[in-house]
C-alpha cells in the first residue's frame, strides 16, 4: 500500500507518519515545514513542502503534481481546515480514496469564525471518503456540519503504557504541560496556584509549568507579581524528561477553553497523575468527576478545585484507585501502535470499496 500523508508541520503529523509507516509499503509526505530527522521512516519517499494558507492558490496544483508522480493508493489528510481545502482541490475528479482526520479546533472553533469558514470545513468533511475524530463529541459536531460517508472515533494515543507507578514514591507535585497560548489558560493555573501556596495545608506541594509559547514571559511576570515561591518553569523538555515529570506528579492540570482528546491527558493518565480538567465534552469521555479525576466547571474557582484534589492525591490509597482506572482506560483506548493498526485497517476498508463509492 502506497500512502500520501498531507498535514501541517506539527509534531502530531510527524509522529503519525512515524507510527503509520510500519503499516504501509511506502509513505510520502506533503507538509509546510522541515521534517525532523527523528521522524524519518525507512520507507519514506518524497517530501513536498508547500504553503497551506488560503492565499497560496498554487498549492493544490503542486499536490496534484505529486499525486501524478507517485500514484498513491490512498491519501490521508490531517485537519479539516485549509490543509484539507488544498488537498480536496488536488483530489477533485480522481477516484482516489482519502481519509480526513480532524484534530479539534478545525471543526470545534474554525466554523464559528464566519460563514465562509463554516462552508469550507463542511465541504471538506463532505468530500472525504471517511473521517476520523478523537472524541465522540467532535464526531457529533462533524455530523452536524456535513453528511459524513464514514466516521471512526480514535486517537493517536500515547507511545506506550509505562510500568505501574510507585504511588508512595511520588513527590507532592502538580504538572501543567500545555502550550503557553491563550487557548490553554495557563494564567488561570498560575492564579489558582497562588491560592494553594497561601494555604498552609499545602506547604509541601510544588507546581511545574512545562512547555512554552507566546505567553511565557507574561506567565513568569505573573508568578513573580503573585510572589509565588513553588513554581518551576521548565520550558520545552525532551520526551524522556517530560515522561519523568509525569511520573513525579500526583496531579495533572489542564484547563483549555476548547480541546479534543489531548495526548498530554493520555500520557498523564498513563503515568499515574490525577487529572484536573476544564469542563469540555472530550474530557468527559475520559474522566468522571470525582471518580478518576476532577472536572472544573468554573475555571475562576480552579484554586478551590485544586486544593480539593491535592488533598485527595496526597492519600496514596485514593490516588492508587484512580490511577488503576485511568491506566486501564489508556490501555484499552489510548495506545499509539494499537490505534495505528486501526488507522491502517480503515485504509484497507476504503481500498476495498468500489471506485464509485470512494469519494
How does pLDDT run across 278-315, given as a tens digit for each residue?
999 999 999 999 999 999 999 999 999 999 999 999 99
User: E strands of the chain, at which residues?
Assistant: 2-6, 26-31, 44-49, 74-78, 98-101, 130-133, 151-153, 173-176, 206-210, 231-235, 251-254, 274-278, 294-296
Tell me what pLDDT residue 354 has.
82
Q: What's the maximum distance between 2 C-alpha atoms anywhere in the chain?
A: 68
Contact 156, 341 (CB under 8 A): no
HSE toward the beta carbon, residue 87, CA cutoff 13 A: 33
Which of 42-46, 130-134, 351-355 is the least confident region? Answer: 351-355
* C-alpha cell read off for 192: 489558582
DSSP 204: T
pLDDT per residue as tens digits for the range 51-79: 999 999 999 999 999 999 999 999 999 99
Kindly tell me if the per-residue pLDDT of 111 is higher than 60: yes
Residue 104, classed as helix, strand or coil, is coil
Q: Strand 26-31: give its sheet, edge to edge.
A: 44-49, 26-31, 2-6, 74-78, 98-101, 130-133, 151-153
DSSP per residue, 254-297: E--SS-SS-HHHHHHHHTTPEEEEES-HHHHTT--BTTTBEEES
Q: Measure the CA–CA gap between 11 and 179, rounded to whole angstroms.
A: 13
Q: What is the pLDDT of residues 86-102, one digit of tens each?
A: 999 999 999 999 999 99
For residue 173, count CB atoms less than 10 angstroms from its CB and return exposed for 0-12, middle for 13-18, buried for 19 or more.
buried
**Helix H or strand E segment including 209:** strand 206-210
Percent of the chain with pLDDT over 90: 96
Comparing CA positions, the residue from 154, 180, 91 lying closest to residue 332 is 154
Amino acid at each position: 500500500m502506497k500512502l500520501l500523508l498531507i498535514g501541517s508541520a506539527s509534531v502530531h503529523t510527524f509522529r503519525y507518519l512515524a507510527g503509520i509507516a510500519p503499516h504501509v509499503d511506502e509513505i510520502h509526505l506533503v507538509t509546510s515545514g522541515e521534517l525532523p530527522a527523528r521522524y524519518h521512516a525507512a520507507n519514506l519517499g518524497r517530501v513536498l513542502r508547500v504553503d497551506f494558507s488560503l492565499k497560496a492558490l498554487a498549492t493544490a496544483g503542486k499536490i496534484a503534481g505529486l499525486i501524478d508522480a507517485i500514484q498513491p493508493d490512498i491519501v490521508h489528510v490531517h485537519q479539516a481546515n485549509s490543509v484539507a481545502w488544498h488537498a480536496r482541490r488536488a483530489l477533485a475528479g480522481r477516484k482516489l480514496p482519502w481519509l480526513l482526520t480532524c484534530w479539534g479546533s478545525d471543526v470545534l472553533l474554525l466554523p464559528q469564525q464566519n460563514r465562509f469558514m463554516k462552508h469550507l470545513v463542511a465541504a471538506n468533511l463532505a468530500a472525504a471518503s471517511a473521517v476520523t475524530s478523537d472524541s465522540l463529541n467532535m464526531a457529533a459536531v462533524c455530523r452536524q456540519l456535513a453528511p459524513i460517508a464514514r466516521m471512526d472515533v480514535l486517537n493517536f494515543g500515547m507511545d506506550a503504557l509505562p510500568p505501574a507507578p510507585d504511588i508512595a514514591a511520588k513527590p507532592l507535585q502538580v504538572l501543567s504541560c500545555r502550550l503557553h497560548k491563550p487557548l490553554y489558560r495557563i494564567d488561570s493555573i498560575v492564579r489558582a496556584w497562588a491560592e494553594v501556596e497561601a494555604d498552609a495545608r499545602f506547604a509541601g506541594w510544588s507546581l511545574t509549568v512545562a512547555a512554552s509559547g507566546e505567553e511565557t514571559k507574561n506567565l513568569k511576570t505573573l508568578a513573580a507579581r503573585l510572589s509565588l515561591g513553588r513554581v518551576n518553569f521548565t520550558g520545552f523538555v525532551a520526551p524522556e524528561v517530560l515522561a519523568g515529570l509525569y511520573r513525579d506528579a500526583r496531579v495533572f492540570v489542564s484547563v483549555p477553553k476548547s480541546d479534543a482528546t489531548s495526548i498530554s491527558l493520555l500520557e498523564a493518565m498513563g503515568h499515574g497523575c490525577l487529572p484536573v480538567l476544564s469542563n469540555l465534552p472530550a474530557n468527559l469521555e475520559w474522566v468522571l468527576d470525582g471518580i478518576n479525576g476532577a472536572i472544573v466547571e468554573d475555571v475562576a474557582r480552579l484554586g478551590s478545585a485544586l486544593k480539593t484534589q491535592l488533598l485527595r492525591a496526597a492519600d496514596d490509597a485514593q490516588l492508587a484507585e484512580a490511577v488503576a482506572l485511568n491506566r486501564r482506560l489508556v490501555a484499552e483506548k489510548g495506545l499509539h501502535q494499537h490505534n495505528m493498526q486501526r488507522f491502517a485497517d480503515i485504509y484497507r476498508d476504503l481500498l476495498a470499496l468500489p471506485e464509485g463509492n470512494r469519494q
